[in-house]
């Protein structure tokens, strides 16, 4: 799928030459070890860099150039994956062949160069008004989690369930980390990102690898670096309480449950856990959907997801506020079935078919190709879809039951309306 070229030590270019899309997609991913203060700083940095730069010193000026370049999409985001923090500069521009104009790509690359290497500076620091404004924007982004009660419940669960563990570090850091961030500190974080981060560059489009490498060398000057080794995270800590109910003014109850498993992304049994999650709650044919929703008529959404980096399994359900006990019991019963190996050939076959479909579908978008390759390249040298598909094919019911037996209930979190306070009193 991707051809990989070393640009410098710690800097790699991955190119997929294809005519599948009408656009060229480029992504630069800067990776470093995760910590909450770093996550906060790098989120602000992402915003500061995409706000303006030396040549286009206002937000409006920069956005006008992008409009002129046929609405080229350009954004920088900050994310976490396991113990890594990743800042990505993502660009998508229309392939010249569909336009009445040539040279659009070179202009786009030059703009990316300006954004990364020629930021909007003043007296040796980032321009103060931009720094303050973007710090404030990230603060508001963090605060807005509260307004979406599903996200808020998941945020509270991870905070309470994994204190001090990387699993609970938010991708944008915390308000406290933001408060402590100075312009000087941000500059240091910026310089270290360019000089020390591990960098993966992706190009997807009608573009050959040698040409892409020449462009990368011409527009981006990255020296070799010795990227730090991925941090090793310790065991998931025990929460203070295993069951927490909190109240907000709302109508529905949000039930969020965390389980732990020793099986992580790098474990031999990683594909088994993916199948377990699919049989249990990943799809519309899964046990949770078929029983808690369709049979018991108790929920509109009820599903599970597997966070493989830390070996966590989450269940999410939106239920009637008075129904938490019944829902917890029903979810527990479905998991018992999985543990007892009560999995039909049909369920197993459907889950394999849908995992395969999901993967192949994701590879039908350039962004999907980049995300999946970036995630899996550490797992095997020659990653392609067939690698995973063949490993799923080998998984048996017995494998799934055995993996389910190792799941441990870690915490039950219930976010619910005021009415239920009396009920629990």
Please compute, for residue 262, the number of CA atoms within 13 A of its CA located in the half-sphere on the CB side.
5
Query: Can residue 54 be called a binding residue for another protein (CB under 8 A)?
Result: no
Query: Can residue 129 be called a binding residue for another protein (CB under 8 A)?
Result: yes
Q: How far is the CB of 308 from another protein (least distance, A)?
A: 21
Query: Can residue 52 be called a binding residue for another protein (CB under 8 A)?
Result: no
- Per the DSSP assignment, residues forming a β-bridge with 318 are 254
Query: Can residue 5 be called a binding residue for another protein (CB under 8 A)?
Result: no
Three-state secondary-structure class, residue 374: helix
Classify residue 225 by its DSSP letter.
-
Q: How far is the CB of 419 from another protein (least distance, A)?
A: 13
Query: Can residue 107 be called a binding residue for another protein (CB under 8 A)?
Result: no
Q: Which of 217, 241, 243, 251 contacts another protein by CB under 8 A?
A: 251
Pair type for strands 198-205 and 23-33: antiparallel
The contacts of residue 23 (CB under 8 Å, 6+ apart) are: 92, 93, 94, 95, 205, 366
Q: Give the Cα separation of 127 and 411 in Å (integer).
A: 45
Query: Can residue 113 be called a binding residue for another protein (CB under 8 A)?
Result: no
Q: Given the complex with another protein, which of 146 and 387 has the nearer CB atom?
A: 146
Three-state secondary-structure class, residue 73: strand
Q: Which of 81, 133, 155, 397 contacts another protein by CB under 8 A?
A: 133
Q: Give the Cα separation of 24 and 21 in Å (integer).
A: 7
Q: Given the complex with another protein, which of 60 and 229 has the nearer CB atom?
A: 60
Q: Which of 364, 398, 408, 421 contacts another protein by CB under 8 A?
A: 364
Query: Can residue 226 be called a binding residue for another protein (CB under 8 A)?
Result: no
Radius of gyration of the chain (CA): 23
Query: Can residue 320 be called a binding residue for another protein (CB under 8 A)?
Result: yes
# chain residues binding another protein, by CB under 8 A: 70
128-143 and 183-196 are packed helices; what angle lies between their axes, rounded to 10 degrees? 90
Q: Two tokens at 332?
A: 């527990």
Query: Can residue 363 be called a binding residue for another protein (CB under 8 A)?
Result: yes
Helices (H), 233-311: 270-277, 287
Q: Which of 149, 156, 198, 287 contacts another protein by CB under 8 A?
A: 149
Classify residue 97 by its DSSP letter.
G
Instruction: From 229-237, 245-253, 265-273, 304-312, give the range in contact with another protein by CB under 8 A.
Output: 245-253
Chain residues that interact with another protein, rule: CB under 8 A: 18-23, 58-60, 63-64, 66-73, 92-94, 98, 129, 133, 136-137, 140-141, 143-144, 146-149, 248-252, 283-285, 289-290, 293-294, 297-301, 318-320, 346, 349-351, 353-354, 356-358, 360-361, 363-366
């Amino acid at each position: 799928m991707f051809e990989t070229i070393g640009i410098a030590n710690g800097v790699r270019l991955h190119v997929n030459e294809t005519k599948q899309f009408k656009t060229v997609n480029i992504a630069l991913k800067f990776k470093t070890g995760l910590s909450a203060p770093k996550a906060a700083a790098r989120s602000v940095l992402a915003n500061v860099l995409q706000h303006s730069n030396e040549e286009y010193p206002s937000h409006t000026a920069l956005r006008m150039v992008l409009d002129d370049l046929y609405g080229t999409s350009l954004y920088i985001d900050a994310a976490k994956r396991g113990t890594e923090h990743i800042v990505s500069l993502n660009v998508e521009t229309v392939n010249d062949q569909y336009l009445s104009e040539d040279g659009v790509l070179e202009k786009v690359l030059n703009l990316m160069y300006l954004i990364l290497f020629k930021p909007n500076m003043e007296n040796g620091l980032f321009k103060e008004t931009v720094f303050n404004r973007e710090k404030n924007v990230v603060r508001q982004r963090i605060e807005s989690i509260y307004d979406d009660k599903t996200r808020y419940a998941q945020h509270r669960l991870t905070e309470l369930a994994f204190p001090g563990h990387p699993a609970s570090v938010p991708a944008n850091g915390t308000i406290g980390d933001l408060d402590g961030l100075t312009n000087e500190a941000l500059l240091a974080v910026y310089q270290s990102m360019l000089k020390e981060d591990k960098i993966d560059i992706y190009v997807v489009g009608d573009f050959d690898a040698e040409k892409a490498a020449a462009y990368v060398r011409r527009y981006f000057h990255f020296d070799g670096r010795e990227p730090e080794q991925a941090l090793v995270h310790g065991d998931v800590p025990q929460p203070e309480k295993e069951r927490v109910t909190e109240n907000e003014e709302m109508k529905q109850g949000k039930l969020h449950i965390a389980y732990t498993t020793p099986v992580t992304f790098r474990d031999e049994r990683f594909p088994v856990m993916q199948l377990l999650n699919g049989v249990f709650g990943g799809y519309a044919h899964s046990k949770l959907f078929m029983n808690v929703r369709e049979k018991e008529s108790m929920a509109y959404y009820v599903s599970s997801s597997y966070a493989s980096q830390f070996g966590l399994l989450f269940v999410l359900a939106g239920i009637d506020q008075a129904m938490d006990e019944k829902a917890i019991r029903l979810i527990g019963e479905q998991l018992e079935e999985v543990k007892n190996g009560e999995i039909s050939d049909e369920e197993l076959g459907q889950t394999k078919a849908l995992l395969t479909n999901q993967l192949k579908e994701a590879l039908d978008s350039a962004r999907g190709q980049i995300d999946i390759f970036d995630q899996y390249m550490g797992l095997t040298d020659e990653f392609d879809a067939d690698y995973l598909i063949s490993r799923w094919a080998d998984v048996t019911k017995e494998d799934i039951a055995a993996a389910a037996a190792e799941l441990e209930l870690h915490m039950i979190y219930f976010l619910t309306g005021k009415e239920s306070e009396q009920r629990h009193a």
